Amino acid sequence: MLANVFHTLFLWLPFAYHHTSNGIEWNYLTNGKTWTDLCATGKQQSPIAFDIQKTRELKSPRIYFANYNVELKGPIFIKNNGHTISMDIPATINGQPPFISGGRLRGRYLAKGLHFHWGSPNSNGSEHTINNRRYDAEMHIVHRNAKYIDIIDAAEKKDGLAVIGVLLEIVKEPIAIPTGLTKVINAVIETPMDESNTTIPAGFSLDEMIGNVDHNDFLSYDGSLTTPFCHEAVSWTVFTQILPVSFSMVSKLWKLRDRCNHPMINNFRDIQDLNNRPVYHRFGRA
């Protein structure tokens, strides 16, 4: 199993999970119910259902988003890996990596990649829910603790990874869709099939992937990756403010194909048991 873990993690960044080295594959046909042989059986699995009324107020300082406002160095590689669309996060044009710190995090977490989860024309597909509501899609920005040498090492540590979750909602007339997000989603038409990829010029920062969403109002808990092998190594931060997007943007994701040439839809894992974990809410403020 350890060799499979290493191989899978190697594939995962920057392109997310694909299949294990012994040929065992996984899919979203049951939204993760059949992953029992691939995923951890611990008590800190993700995603979860957020109930705002049952959260604990987090009084820690805000999360610091360093170099998120600096343009990324292009070209940027985007890939259809048969399960999602993923994007490698390079250093910025000043040579420094984007990273996060503060909040409940201890240390610096370097931004390494991002990917998406979505539903279908008939169903919503965010992984996390808030007050029993599932949104149209969810973007994950994955960070590695800087004190670990690589993603393989980090995934084996309880404090190894930090993921920013941004919930997306289709609205009729979205105002000011982030330019970076628009560029990435528009590029997916060049990656319609499994293993297809494309590059785009940078010209945008990570801030331009998440727009004007309030960075200071968020939900936080300790959980796992939401794809096999579902390592329990993630400090989750999910913004409470929803990012509005257009129907045409999300519909581009519905048109993608997976490794079996089926529509790549409903690529989200089912809600996992909370198991008495504390869930924190930091209210928006400076």
- Report the alpha-carbon distance of residue 142 to residue 128 in Å, rounded: 15
Question: Tokens 């800190």 map to which residue?
Answer: 44
First to last CA, the chain: 45
Helix axes 247-254, 179-187, angle to 10 degrees: 30
With b for 16 or more beta-carbon neighbours within 10 A and e for fewer, the 214-226 pattern comes to ebbebbbbbbbbb
Q: How far is CA 133 from the centre of its chain?
A: 18
Q: Is 71 in contact with 205 (CB distance < 8 Å)?
A: yes
Q: What pairs with residue 63 in β-bridges?
A: 102
What does the chain come to in residues?
A: 286
Tell me the one-letter amino acid at 172. Answer: K
Q: Which of 7, 18, 19, 83 is catalytic?
A: 83
Pairing of strands 280-282, 56-57: parallel
Q: Is 279 in contact with 55 (CB distance < 8 Å)?
A: yes
Using alpha carbons, select from 96, 93, 109, 168 the residue that is nearest to residue 142.
109
- SS3 (DSSP) at 140: strand
Q: Is 262 a catalytic residue?
A: no
Q: Which are the catalytic amino acids?
A: 83
